[in-house]
């Protein structure tokens, strides 16, 4: 009879030990692995570096979840489109189809609400020939979708052409969805063609 009285207490103690174990494991896990909220928040740090005075950002398009976006006709080179909520413009990340090495390069371009490039950079550059990845994107700043005053880099036409085509695709995605107006000399984007599908 003493054995039956001790069993309920043993079960309660075992249950308490299990709960304590799960709490300890959860605590260690949260110290070792960042939370999902921290992982999602990390890209915003880069967005605020681009727009330090931004009110907030809204992700409009993510190629990995394209079917969840209301944006249509986005070229395959466009990875993400993020709007700055006070109306300044859009941050577009792109990847080139292929550079000289056969590997794509990644880039970020900011297009303001007036349809002009406010910021451009190379994020990854796998090619060995330097096409001026620090300087070349600066030649895009102030340009509209016609990219009329942007020239290719001699000796690196493959890479500079791929970069220029990706920027044109960023404009195409915004223009075809009515987010910015086309440049004054840009009939190719007005007609709806894009470089990512050529």
- The pLDDT, as a whole number, for residue 137 is 92
Residues 81 and 106 in one domain: yes
- The pLDDT, as a whole number, for residue 187 is 52
Residues 86 and 174 in one domain: yes
Cα angle at 94 between 182 and 131, to 5 degrees? 95
Which is more confident, 157 or 61? 61
Residues 100 and 142 in one domain: yes
- The pLDDT, as a whole number, for residue 196 is 42
Residue 180 confidence (pLDDT) above 70: yes
pLDDT digits (tens, 9 = 90+) for 12-21: 777 777 677 6
190: DSSP letter: H
- Specify the DSSP element, H or E, that contains 59: strand 57-62
- Please, are residues 114 and 142 in contact by the beta-carbon 8 Å criterion? no
- The pLDDT, as a whole number, for residue 22 is 63
Residues 141 and 98 in one domain: yes
Portion of the chain with pLDDT greater than 90, in percent: 45
Q: How many domains does the chain have?
A: 2
Residues 54 and 3 in one domain: no
Domain span at 8? 1-33
Residues 175 and 93 in one domain: yes
Q: What is the rounded distance in angstroms from the CA atom of residue 58 to the CA atom of residue 51?
A: 13
pLDDT digits (tens, 9 = 90+) for 36-81: 333 333 456 788 888 888 889 999 999 999 999 999 999 999 999 9
Residues 25 and 87 in one domain: no
Residues 22 and 53 in one domain: no
Residues 9 and 99 in one domain: no
- The pLDDT, as a whole number, for residue 2 is 52
- The pLDDT, as a whole number, for residue 198 is 37
- The gap from C-alpha 153 to its chain's centroid, in whole angstroms, comes to 26
Residues 45 and 27 in one domain: no
As a whole number, mean pLDDT of residues 99-108 equals 82
Residues 140 and 64 in one domain: yes
Structure confidence at residue 128 as a pLDDT band (50, 70, 90): confident
Residues 5 and 69 in one domain: no
């Amino acid at each position: 009879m003493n054995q039956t009285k001790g069993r309920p207490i043993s079960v309660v103690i075992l249950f308490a030990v299990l709960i304590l174990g799960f709490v300890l494991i959860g605590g260690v896990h949260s110290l070792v692995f960042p939370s999902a909220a921290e992982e999602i928040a990390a890209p915003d740090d880069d967005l605020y570096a681009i727009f330090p005075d931004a009110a907030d950002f809204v992700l409009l398009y993510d190629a990995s979840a394209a079917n969840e976006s209301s944006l249509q006709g986005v070229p395959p080179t466009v990875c993400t489109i993020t709007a700055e909520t006070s109306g300044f413009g859009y941050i577009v990340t792109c990847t080139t189809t292929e550079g000289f090495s056969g590997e794509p390069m990644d880039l970020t371009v900011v297009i303001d609400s007036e349809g002009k490039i406010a910021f451009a950079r190379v994020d990854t550059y796998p090619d060995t020939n330097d096409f001026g990845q620090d300087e070349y994107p600066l030649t895009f700043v102030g340009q509209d979708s016609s990219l009329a005053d942007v020239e290719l880099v001699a000796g690196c036409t493959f890479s500079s052409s791929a970069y220029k085509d990706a920027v044109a695709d960023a404009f195409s995605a915004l223009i075809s969805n009515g987010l910015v107006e086309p440049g004054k000399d840009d009939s190719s984007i007005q007609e709806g063609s894009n470089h990512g599908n050529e």
